[in-house]
Copies of this chain bind each other. A is one copy, B any other.
Amino acid sequence: MFEEGKGELLSSCTADEIRDWNRNNKDRGLVDKMTTVRSAVEKYVKDGTYLAIGGFGHIRISMPLIYEIVRHRIKHLQISGHTAVHDLDVLIAGDCVDAVDVAYAFAYETRGLSRNGRRAVESGKIKCVEWTNASLSWRIKAAAMGLPFLPARNLLGSDTFRYSAAKEMECPFTGQKLVALPALMPDVSIIHVHYADKYGNCSIRGTTVKDDDLAKASKRVIVTAERIVPDTFFRNDPERTTIPYFCVDAVIEAPHGSHPGNMPHEYYFDEEHIRDYLKAGADDGSLKDYLDKWVYSVNDFDEYLDLVGTKKLNELRRLEELR
């Protein structure tokens, strides 16, 4: 009677498993969590990790962590692709990805499709399970709420549903048909924010996309921040805390950390860089050259920013501020 999607549930958990994880693994204390990109990736990101990335694919993404994952040649990642753009594409370029829960992926919005991403799917290298931006957000919200599922009214009547791992269900009160979305608890999420303190309290300016829920839903949360601030920044104005400290496992200071992506109120897209990257995506050879130059040949994100150059960084700030 009730249909269900035939897509694979890439990451599953019961509500009691969510609770047990949180009881046993999340530190409640106000402890200093400052670390480095390298240590955080080595500690938390493994072959086969189910990874979710904060922001909106090319807006407010944590490029220091993404580059480090590529540099560490992590394999077989499964990715939550709620508007995945440059974040996912670089991981695919680095051959890190096996499967994607796709809401939006393999494309760059107004810039068109990504040849690199398409090639990986069309060659069968990457497995796709279909979702939508809202259904992935609600799956994450379910885990954040400690629930095994959330009901919703989208997805129904579509092939997106048929290639998802959702199920139909009935409302216990009204009898109406609803879609049930299974909770998603990523192994690791990486989130770039505007402000963080050393304990992990975070504040995001502009749209949150789903990062408040993502931080609550994930087993491990690594945060990179444009600026590290004292905890009084949050305690004096606790409404501005987007993510409370106890969700966060590691904090790294990373100014310009979303480059070449946009960081609201800080800097706009580096369109030249993205154009060159997309051009390199035409074939695996050019892509290897790109990665050699920007990822493998630099030791860390500071060296990467030196390659970008101060002039460009200043220009992107002016662009963001509409000057």
Contacts and interface: CB of A to CB of B under 8 A. Distances in A.
Interface of A: 2, 12, 14-16, 146-153, 167, 169, 171-174, 176, 178, 180, 182, 204-206, 238-240, 242
A200 B148 CA distance: 36
B148 A173 contact: yes
A154 to B, nearest CB: 10
A150 B174 CA distance: 13
Copies per assembly: 2
B239 A205 contact: yes
A134 B206 CA distance: 29
A125 to B, nearest CB: 29
A3 to B, nearest CB: 11
B15 A176 contact: yes
Contact of A169 (B2, B16, B172, B205): B172
Given A12-B173, A151-B151, A167-B173, 7 more contacts: A14-B174, A146-B153, A149-B172, A169-B172, A173-B180, A204-B239, A205-B239
A137 to B, nearest CB: 11
7 contacts: A12-B173, A16-B176, A148-B173, A149-B171, A151-B151, A172-B180, A205-B239
